[in-house]
Chain A
Amino acid sequence: MKSFFASMAIVLTGAMTTIPNMASAQNRIFVGTVAGSDLDGLARRVAEVLAASDGSRWIVENRPGSGGALGFDAIKSAPADGTTLLMAPSGAMTLTPHTRGNLKYSLADVAPVSRVAGFDVAYIVSAKVPATTLKAYIDWVKQDNSRAVFATPQFGGIPHMFGIKLGRAAGVPLDNVAYRGGGSQLITDVVGGHLLAASSGVAEWLREHQAGTVRILATSGTKRAPQLPNVPTFQELGYKDLVASISYILMAPAQTPKATIDGIAARVNKGLTDAKLREALTAQGFVVDGTANPATVAADLRAEHKYWGDLVKETGFKMPN
């Protein structure tokens, strides 16, 4: 019963703190999605870790809109003193700037703090597709061009670019059918066989794969996904260039002092070593990170920025505005 009242109290205080002005003394983590997304859930875990490390108060403030761009707007005008952070997917800084012409932020506006967690891209086929390997699938698509369709959770995201790159590498003209930010309709459409293949983040498909209603043919990491020891990577299958991952990055405004950033990074990365937290996040499909220091994360993001920039140039892909 005690925990019951405790959780009630948390709900009520939580409801109060959604009104930011009442909570100006608190530290904030902005998230560019609505509450309840996996990014939001991860940010709330990070807020707990930061709070537990020194007793400070942290809240997650959702700034959904414009494909996450409003979160970057918020962090650009925030004080650069370590009291305001942003959590965003890596692709928002490394891929989107190449494809969207009207973007008002760039990698230069933020200073990475920690690569909290991430997951690979998976290529998934419905159980109604006869192929059980990537090679068999490609051959099966080549037999009949009408099969060359793959779904993605959203237009212009990393899974979409990855699917385009797979199509080019395998020599099949794969057409994309995009969904509105993923979710259940994409999954039911693939399980029901209305769409036969999808390129999407690993996390959402683990259960379906284990239940046998879809098959994950390959994943995009340099190593196999820890939750999928029996699924090969694209590299193993001979596609040397098909490497990508989606990671969730914690960052601060660009002018934040280095010592402050290193301090926060140390607290977050130490918190991420907690076995219970790792176990819970792994079960959700994440690969927990928190091993790289801020400078390494920044270097990795710049390399990723170049990788997607080259691919976008090569394919001529552009968001139509």
Chain B
Amino acid sequence: MDLFSNLATGFGVALSLQNLAFALGGVFIGTLIGVLPGLGPVPAIAMLLPSIYTLDPTAALIMLAGVYYGAQYGGSTTAILINLPGESSSIVTAIDGYQMARKGRAGAALAAAGLGSFFAGCVGTLVLAAFAPALAGIAFAFGPAEYAALMLLGLIGAVVLASGSVSKAVGMVLLGLLLGQINTDPLSGVERFSFGIPELTDGLGFVAVAMGLFGFGEIIGNLNRPSESREVFTRDVKNLWPTGEDFRQAMPAVLRGTALGSLLGVLPGGGAILASFVSYTLEKRVSKTPERFGHGAIEGVAGPESANNAAAQTSFIPMLTLGIPPNPVMALMIGAMVVMGITPGPKVMVENPDLFWGLIASMWIGNLMLIILNLPFIGIWVKLLTVPYRFLFPSIVCFCVIGLYTLSNNNFDIYLAGVFAIIGFLFIKLRCEAGPLLLGMVLGPMLEENLRRTLLVARGDWSVLLTRPISGTLIALSVVMLVSALLPAIRKRRDNAFRD
């Protein structure tokens, strides 16, 4: 059993005092970054890099990896507590997580997210250890046509995300697609809907829009209520720990989310975000009581959180086995490896087994540290919610504005969030959900780009989308989902189920 002897080597490396300290430091910084709204792991790692060039490469990578998955972990905390998804993969967590928090079940939501992430992280790491070379090829099977089909599936899934009426959900997705058109068209260099404002030529910043719609919109919505009924969070916080019933409901969701995330994480680009969306969609589909979704269903927290954490682990596969970074964080880690004299690629496993297996083993240890670090914090976080709202909301706004400014050292993102705060408030008044809009905004440009690349390469022949096996299958799935959403009989039943 090579795997076991390799893992033994890995644990031997990862359990040294120095590497344990770096893993702890990494996950601690990561958690901090994840919890602070607007602050992402990329700038943090970019700033860390010069100082770690002199370190032992294994220790340095263990710490950087810790920052990365620690941030994934910490991101769900603000999504659940104050409806502020710090990154695209925690939008879904905010939907049901925040509703749970409002019902006094923030502790259960945080624990479900934490335990689900821990389980998914462990399984994802195991997948990484056992199947890395085999899974690496998936990335190459996905060309522009396959991405276009995958994004289409994601967008149609977005309609299922919403718990209100189908027509509103479709409207929000379309609005999101339109907002996604504000950018410079990557294939022709045309500036679209930028009205001469240079900041708009790179598109609307996801974090600014999400903060405005979710975070600020929600705050205005709360302040709009008379002060007696403003305390959104029940003071009598029910059991901090999930109940047996919770565990029973969350467990299958965690398993499915982990499987989905492990697979989709291998894809470069939107792997983690799609994994969380697809997981939510799937949970709602298979649930016997889909009407609970959007009103605090624990599966809606546990599933997507597991999916995005499993994806965070398996996204190391293309980086470690091929030297191809699936996201900016990995690109920085590759840069660090190169500077330290390690050539990323298939040979790392052979030439630097200590580093390869040590890093993998450290992920288990890091995940364990995260759960140990975070579970005791749940009590503190939940206490935070009992702070009177008049003190709580100015501090949230303050942290958000700082975070927004640091995105690009530019006031524009703050103004943008301000505009979307008003829009978010309108959405609350109109009972429209912002989740599908954000998904449309994120996936729309990716769909467009890849579809046009497909057609450019195929010289305008649309049939490639159907004749290529992976994209054909994904499109068939999309059609099935669309038909089932539109079939009158099903829709009627759905609308009845969702009428509240």
How close is A260's CB to chain B, nearest CB, in angstroms? 24
CA A208 to CA B187, docked complex, whole Å: 24
CA A279 to CA B350, docked complex, whole Å: 24
Is B226 positioned at the interface, with any CB of A under 8 Å from its CB? no
How close is B430's CB to chain A, nearest CB, in angstroms? 32
Let me know if B324 and A187 touch, CB within 8 A: yes
Let me know if A6 and B186 touch, CB within 8 A: no
How close is B74's CB to chain A, nearest CB, in angstroms? 14
Q: Assuming A62-B408, A64-B408, A207-B345, is B338 touching A284 (CB within 8 A)?
A: yes
Q: Assuming A149-B457, A178-B187, is B48 touching A7 (CB within 8 A)?
A: yes
Let me know if B22 and A4 touch, CB within 8 A: yes
Chain B residues contacting A25 (CB-CB under 8 Å) are none
Let me know if B46 and A67 touch, CB within 8 A: no
A-contacting residues, B121-165, CB 8 Å: 139-145, 147
Neighbour of A40 across the interface among B46, B323, B409, CB < 8 A: B46
Let me know if B43 and A67 touch, CB within 8 A: no
Is A275 positioned at the interface, with any CB of B under 8 Å from its CB? no
Q: Mark A53-79, 1 if CB is under 8 A from B, else 0.
A: 000000001111111011001000000
CA A167 to CA B346, docked complex, whole Å: 34
Neighbour of A7 across the interface among B18, B52, B196, B268, CB < 8 A: B52
- The stretch that binds B, out of A116-124, A190-198, A299-307, is A190-198
Is B54 positioned at the interface, with any CB of A under 8 Å from its CB? yes
CA A52 to CA B324, docked complex, whole Å: 33
Is A35 positioned at the interface, with any CB of B under 8 Å from its CB? yes
Neighbour of B409 across the interface among A18, A69, A99, CB < 8 A: A18
Let me know if B410 and A67 touch, CB within 8 A: no
Neighbour of B143 across the interface among A73, A156, A192, CB < 8 A: A192
Let me know if B410 and A11 touch, CB within 8 A: no
Q: What count of chain B residues pass the 8 Å CB interface test?
A: 74
Let me know if B143 and A7 touch, CB within 8 A: no
Chain B residues contacting A8 (CB-CB under 8 Å) are 25, 29
Is B188 positioned at the interface, with any CB of A under 8 Å from its CB? yes
Chain B residues contacting A194 (CB-CB under 8 Å) are 143-145, 457
Let me know if A41 and B47 touch, CB within 8 A: no
Q: What count of chain A residues pass the 8 Å CB interface test?
A: 66
Chain B residues contacting A24 (CB-CB under 8 Å) are none
- The stretch that binds A, out of B7-15, B81-89, B327-335, is B327-335
B-contacting residues, A28-51, CB 8 Å: 34-36, 38, 40-41, 44-45, 48
How close is B20's CB to chain A, nearest CB, in angstroms? 11
Let me know if A180 and B449 touch, CB within 8 A: yes
Q: Assuming A4-B22, A11-B48, is B201 touching A319 (CB within 8 A)?
A: no
**Which residue of the partner chain B has the closest CB to A7?**
B51
CA A286 to CA B412, docked complex, whole Å: 34
Let me know if B47 and A177 touch, CB within 8 A: no
Interface of B is mostly: helix
Is B184 positioned at the interface, with any CB of A under 8 Å from its CB? yes
How close is B167's CB to chain A, nearest CB, in angstroms? 32
CA A6 to CA B405, docked complex, whole Å: 27
Q: Assuming A146-B459, A321-B190, is B50 touching A211 (CB within 8 A)?
A: no
Let me know if A70 and B199 touch, CB within 8 A: yes
Let me know if B457 and A195 touch, CB within 8 A: yes
Let me know if B141 and A192 touch, CB within 8 A: yes
Let me know if B457 and A15 touch, CB within 8 A: no
Neighbour of A211 across the interface among B53, B54, B268, B346, CB < 8 A: B346
Let me know if B201 and A65 touch, CB within 8 A: yes
Let me know if B52 and A211 touch, CB within 8 A: no
Chain B residues contacting A1 (CB-CB under 8 Å) are 17-18, 21
Neighbour of A280 across the interface among B325, B339, B405, CB < 8 A: B339
How close is A252's CB to chain B, nearest CB, in angstroms? 19
**Which residue of the partner chain A has the closest CB to B41?**
A36
Let me know if A177 and B456 touch, CB within 8 A: yes
Q: Assuming A4-B18, A11-B48, is B43 touching A36 (CB within 8 A)?
A: yes
CA A117 to CA B457, docked complex, whole Å: 34
Q: Assuming A64-B202, A188-B268, is B409 touching A41 (CB within 8 A)?
A: no
Chain A residues contacting B409 (CB-CB under 8 Å) are 18, 20, 61-63
Let me know if A184 and B51 touch, CB within 8 A: no
Let me know if A18 and B43 touch, CB within 8 A: yes
Let me know if B45 and A36 touch, CB within 8 A: yes
How close is A137's CB to chain B, nearest CB, in angstroms? 17
Chain B residues contacting A48 (CB-CB under 8 Å) are 50
How close is B343's CB to chain A, nearest CB, in angstroms? 7
Chain A residues contacting B291 (CB-CB under 8 Å) are none
Let me know if B332 and A283 touch, CB within 8 A: no
Is A239 positioned at the interface, with any CB of B under 8 Å from its CB? no
Best-surrounded residue of A146, A188, A320 (most CB of chain B within 10 A): A188
Chain A residues contacting B341 (CB-CB under 8 Å) are 283
Neighbour of B335 across the interface among A181, A208, A284, CB < 8 A: A284
Let me know if A4 and B457 touch, CB within 8 A: no
Q: Mark B443-483, 1 if CB is under 8 A from A, else 0.
A: 00000010001001101000000000000000000000000
How close is B477's CB to chain A, nearest CB, in angstroms? 21
Mind listing 30 A-B residue pairs with CB under 8 Å?
A1-B18, A4-B22, A6-B51, A7-B55, A10-B48, A18-B406, A19-B406, A61-B409, A63-B410, A67-B184, A70-B199, A149-B457, A177-B453, A178-B188, A178-B189, A184-B324, A184-B326, A185-B269, A188-B139, A189-B144, A191-B324, A194-B457, A195-B144, A210-B345, A284-B338, A284-B339, A320-B189, A320-B190, A321-B189, A321-B191
Residues of A within 8 A of B (CB): 1, 3-4, 6-8, 10-11, 14-15, 18-20, 34-36, 38, 40-41, 44-45, 48, 61-67, 69-70, 73, 99, 102, 146, 149, 154-156, 175, 177-181, 183-185, 187-189, 191-195, 207-208, 210-211, 280, 283-284, 319-321
10 shortest A-B CB distances, which residue pairs? A194-B143, A192-B140, A14-B47, A66-B198, A35-B46, A35-B43, A155-B189, A10-B51, A184-B268, A36-B46
- With contacts A7-B51, A14-B48 known, what are 17 further pairs, Cβ within 8 A? A7-B55, A7-B63, A10-B50, A19-B402, A19-B406, A36-B46, A61-B409, A63-B408, A64-B202, A73-B198, A155-B189, A178-B187, A179-B186, A184-B269, A184-B331, A188-B324, A192-B142
